């Protein structure tokens, strides 16, 4: 038996219960890793359910992937942009046709709802189509000069082999916004998804394979970062790395790469929502709920700090707690759930640790409990938590938790709220709830954040708009998404052409 991704059926401990073994994709072939070792990926909503068995790749597998991408580069860079675009559009067709099935798989491997999983694959398809168009209009310039017998112009050229390293929280949409601009500009790729959500990344590669991408142009490997990471980040053949993950991991990569290796990194966040005294409090509560809890708090742009004016803090907090208590928690495949499980056992441990810290530092208004009993016993479920009496010095106000935890802080003026919002090592996303145009204007101009939202949630960004952060939320070099997302994957050459 074979499938598009050459998955093989084996038996696990329960008789008659199959689990699929998924392979690496290297040099145009679906292959087992050299060690023949695998690791299992389970459903965070019910850990007894195995999603699949994936290759525990080694440094040798990573070298194979880098070598394949290196060998494929010259032919791919010479491939007509229209042909590259055709492949991206065909891949988008495949993702759209299978969005429901892939969304269900994403829900099972990461925990978010099926609807959100389906939307994520549709967004990935949209990203492929966007870059299929934009990449065909992205070029150089001509420069005026005084010599009538000379032309001076610039041209954009691909870098070479690039590494794409993506996280588990958006396992389809984040790698799509890295892979699409890299391919359309003529680069070849080594793609390593998170080991906690590798199947969604595989489906992106599967779509490109179905679309006819030449061998070696994209290579997919799974495994521990410690085993394959050094090869796909420090190899001299790697010309660029696009990484989304923790600030700590990003700093490690930054310290180890070669001088000529470009870096594009989207890292951590501690994103504030400021609620002014003139805000629509019902709307502000919904912004806090959607920004802080809609993805079980597992978004780098998620709302983790809510800074509220003293005059409305009591009323706002009361409304927030009442609303939080209405939220429904359960498996992502079950309709009507507002929150799913945390994605991994490690993330559950981290969130429970910070909840203990929060209880010692501040006042817990609601939530913060590990859920037990059916259907929660086999999953990583925590009730969404709201802390009050939080000050700037507290760890829950300063450190990224990446879970359903909101810290409420009090401010007595716009100036003090802005100072609190900016008093952070992070600067990824920030929002304000207000009706006052002056607050809107000053907030947009003075907040230290790469993404600024006014009467909107801290989460979410457009496919056609740049995305990235400031301070320790980014390398502050090249932005992702939008037309500017093409710049990272190209270098400029200036030509002086005389007669």
Q: Which residues are catalytic?
A: 266, 300
The DSSP element (H or E) to which 50 belongs, if any, is: strand 46-55
Angle at 187 between CA 185 and CA 192, to 5 degrees: 125
Select from 347, 335, 375 the least CA-distant residue to 116: 335
Phi, psi at residue 266, to the nearest 5°?
-115, 115
Here the tokens at position 247 are 């600030």
Sheet holding 38-43, edge to edge: 8-11, 18-21, 46-55, 38-43
The separation between CA 381 and the C-alpha centre of its own chain, rounded to angstroms, equals 22
CA atoms in the 13 A half-sphere facing the CB of 349? 3
Here the tokens at position 88 are 């991206």
198-210 vs 114-134: helix crossing angle, rounded to 10 = 40
CA distances 114 to 314, 343, 395, Å, are 36, 14, 34
The separation between CA 436 and the C-alpha centre of its own chain, rounded to angstroms, equals 33
Please list, in sequence order, all residues whose beta carbon lies within 8 angstroms of the beta carbon of residue 479, skipping any fewer than 6 positions away: 450, 466, 467, 468, 485, 488
For residue 474, the 8-state DSSP code is B
CB neighbours (10 Å) of residue 336? 7
């Amino acid at each position: 038996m074979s499938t598009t991704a050459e998955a093989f059926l084996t038996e696990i401990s329960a008789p008659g219960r199959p689990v699929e073994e998924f392979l690496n994709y290297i040099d145009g072939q679906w292959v087992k890793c050299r060690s023949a070792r695998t690791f299992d990926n389970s459903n965070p909503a019910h850990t007894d359910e195995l999603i699949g068995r994936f290759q525990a790749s080694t440094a040798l597998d990573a070298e194979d992937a880098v070598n394949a991408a290196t060998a494929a580069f010259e032919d791919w860079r010479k491939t007509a942009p229209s042909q590259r675009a055709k492949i991206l559009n065909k891949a988008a067709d495949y993702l759209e046709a299978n969005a429901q099935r892939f969304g269900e798989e994403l829900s099972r491997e990461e925990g978010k709802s099926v609807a959100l999983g389906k939307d994520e694959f549709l967004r990935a398809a949209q990203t492929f189509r966007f870059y299929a168009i934009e990449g065909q209009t992205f070029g150089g310039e001509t420069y005026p000069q005084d010599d009538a017998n000379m032309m001076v112009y610039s041209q954009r050229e691909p870098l070479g082999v690039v590494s794409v390293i993506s996280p588990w929280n958006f396992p389809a949409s984040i790698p799509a916004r890295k892979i699409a601009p890299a391919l359309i500009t003529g680069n070849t790729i080594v793609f390593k998804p998170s080991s906690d959500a590798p199947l969604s990344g595989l489906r992106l590669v599967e779509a490109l394979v179905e679309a006819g991408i030449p061998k070696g142009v994209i290579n997919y490997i799974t495994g521990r970062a410690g085993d394959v990471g050094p090869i796909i980040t420090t190899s001299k053949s790697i010309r660029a790395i696009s990484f989304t993950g923790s600030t700590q991991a990003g700093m490690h990569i930054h310290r180890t790469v070669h001088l000529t290796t470009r870096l594009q990194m989207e890292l951590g966040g501690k994103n504030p929502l400021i609620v002014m005294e003139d805000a629509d409090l019902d709307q502000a509560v919904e912004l806090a709920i959607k920004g802080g809890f809609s993805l079980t708090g597992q978004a780098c742009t998620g709302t983790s700090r809510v800074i509220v004016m003293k005059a409305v803090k009591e009323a706002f907090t009361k409304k927030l707690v009442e609303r939080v208590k209405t939220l429904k928690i359960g498996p992502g495949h079950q309709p009507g759930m507002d929150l799913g499980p945390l994605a991994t056992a490690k993330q559950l441990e981290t969130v429970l640790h910070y909840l203990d810290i929060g209880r010692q530092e501040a006042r817990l208004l609601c939530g913060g409990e590990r859920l037990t009993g059916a259907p929660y016993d086999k999953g990583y479920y925590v009730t969404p938590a709201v802390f009050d009496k939080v000050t700037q010095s507290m760890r829950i106000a300063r450190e990224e938790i990446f879970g359903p935890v909101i810290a409420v802080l009090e401010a007595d003026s716009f100036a003090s709220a802005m100072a609190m919002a900016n008093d952070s090592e992070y600067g990824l996303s920030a929002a304000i709830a207000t009706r006052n145009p002056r607050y809107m204007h000053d907030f947009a101009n003075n907040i230290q954040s790469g993404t600024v939202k006014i009467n909107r949630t801290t989460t979410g960004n457009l496919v056609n708009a740049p995305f990235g952060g400031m301070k320790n939320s980014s390398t502050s070099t090249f932005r992702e998404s939008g037309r500017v997302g093409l710049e990272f994957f190209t270098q400029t050459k200036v030509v002086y052409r005389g007669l």
